[in-house]
């Protein structure tokens, strides 16, 4: 399930190798940069994998090891694939890349879905300790150290002019991706994180479980049922009225966003904004007038099956 894996191999881990002399000879499409302090950096490609070399280190960054090894990243690197990819990388660069420090790792899977991407975005709500940002082609949850992203993979590949595997053409391919880009050692509580760790059974399973677990923590938005036959009390009537308003305004996320904006404009006090958000959230959780969405049940099943398959 790995896609991008950024690696940094320092010269201490490759004794006897002159990095600036030996490594660029194995790369194509080279470009050289000399910095004001005299430091030289050479960038090039190992097929479609970007490699940057200085006298101090070799870096693999800003490209997909999965695409380099498997031919596309509609797939994901299994634990065995990851081990073989690192071994091949070591062979082609003639470096011990299993000793390289991991500076980024993405855990991802693509799903062929029944509906357009926006339908799923509208049913994925808040996630504690993460900021939620919805854009035209993606839904982002970020807390500074790692990011969860949902986006339409076919659309992304089309924009980039990349080929689309036949099984994904003319279909909604929703990608769920977890990106670790900062403070990896603190996140995983490790003294070091080297490439060989990625294909250790325990660590690989931990990453897959984290990927599934973060998805499950996202608050799911229920479907609203306007059902006056279920009204038995004044509270039922109040909840139904709120739900009708929410449905007319574009959904729970839209109304919560409007309340937050009103607070920022000074039209509501902090307590008033909190109380109104709480009232909307409680009404939207009311089992008598809401139900689990079919689209979320579909996505739940896909995520669970993917985690089970890769474990």
CA 127 to chain centre: 14
Cβ atoms within 10 Å, residue 294: 13
Q: What is the pLDDT of residues 152-209, one digit of tens each?
A: 999 888 888 888 988 888 899 999 999 999 999 999 999 999 999 999 999 999 999 9
Neighbouring residues of 148: CB distance < 8 A, sequence distance ≥ 6: 127, 130, 140, 141, 142, 176, 177, 178, 179, 214, 215, 218
Is 126's pLDDT higher than 70? yes
**Whether pLDDT at 311 is above 80:** no
pTM (2 decimals)? Answer: 0.84
Angstrom distances, CA of residue 259 to CA of 8, 33, 253: 45, 51, 10
For 245-288, the three-class secondary structure string (H helix, E strand, C coil) is HHHHHCCHHHHHHHHHHHHHCCCCCHHHHHHHHHHHHHHHCCCC
pLDDT tier at 227, thresholds 50, 70, 90? low
Whether residue 304 contacts residue 237, with contact meaning beta carbons closer than 8 Å, is answered with no
What would the pLDDT profile of 237-275 be if each residue is shown by its tens digit? 887 788 778 777 778 888 888 899 899 999 999 999 998
List the strands of the sheet with 49-53, edge to edge: 28-34, 40-46, 49-53, 57-60, 2-10, 101-113, 172-180, 146-152, 138-142, 131-134
* Beta carbons within 8 Å of 89's beta carbon, 6+ residues apart: 46, 49, 60, 65, 97
pLDDT at 89 over 70: yes
Confidence grade of residue 289 (pLDDT, cut at 50, 70, 90): low
Rounded to 5 degrees, what are φ and ψ at 50?
-80, 130
Residue 226 has pLDDT above 90, yes or no: no
The pair of structure tokens assigned to 237 is 């009537």
C-beta of residue 52 within 8 angstroms of C-beta of residue 24 = no
pLDDT on residue 88: 97
pLDDT at position 232:
78
For residue range 6-26, what is the model confidence (pLDDT) as tens digits? 999 999 999 989 999 999 999
- Output the CA angle 285-291-293, nearest 5 degrees: 110
């Amino acid at each position: 399930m790995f896609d991008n894996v950024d690696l940094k191999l320092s010269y201490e881990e490759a004794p006897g190798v002159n990095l600036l002399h030996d490594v660029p000879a194995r790369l194509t499409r080279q470009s050289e940069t000399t910095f004001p302090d005299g430091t030289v950096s050479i960038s090039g490609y190992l097929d479609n994998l970007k490699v940057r070399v200085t006298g101090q280190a070799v870096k693999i960054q800003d490209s997909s090891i999965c695409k380099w090894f498997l031919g596309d990243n509609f797939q994901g690197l299994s634990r065995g694939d990851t081990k073989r990819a690192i071994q091949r990388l070591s062979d082609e660069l003639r470096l011990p890349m299993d000793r390289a420090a991991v500076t980024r790792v993405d855990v991802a899977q693509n799903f062929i879905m029944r509906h357009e991407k926006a339908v799923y975005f509208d049913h994925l709500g808040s996630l504690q300790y993460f900021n939620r940002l919805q854009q035209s082609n993606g839904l982002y949850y970020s807390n500074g150290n790692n990011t969860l992203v949902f986006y339409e993979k076919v659309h992304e590949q089309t924009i980039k002019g990349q080929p689309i595997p036949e099984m994904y053409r003319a279909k909604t391919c929703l990608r769920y991706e977890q990106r670790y880009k900062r403070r990896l050692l603190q996140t995983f509580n490790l003294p070091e994180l080297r490439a060989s760790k990625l294909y250790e059974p325990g660590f690989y399973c931990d990453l897959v479980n984290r990927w599934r677990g973060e998805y499950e923590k996202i608050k799911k938005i229920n479907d609203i049922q306007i059902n006056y036959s279920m009204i038995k009390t004044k509270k039922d009537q109040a909840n139904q009225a709120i739900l009708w308003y929410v449905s007319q305004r574009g959904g729970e996320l839209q109304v919560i966003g409007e309340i937050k904006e009103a607070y920022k404009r000074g039209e509501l006090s902090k307590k008033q904004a909190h109380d109104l958000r709480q009232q909307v959230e409680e009404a939207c959780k009311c089992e008598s007038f809401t139900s689990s969405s079919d689209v979320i049940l579909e996505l739940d099943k896909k995520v669970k099956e993917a985690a089970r398959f890769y474990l």
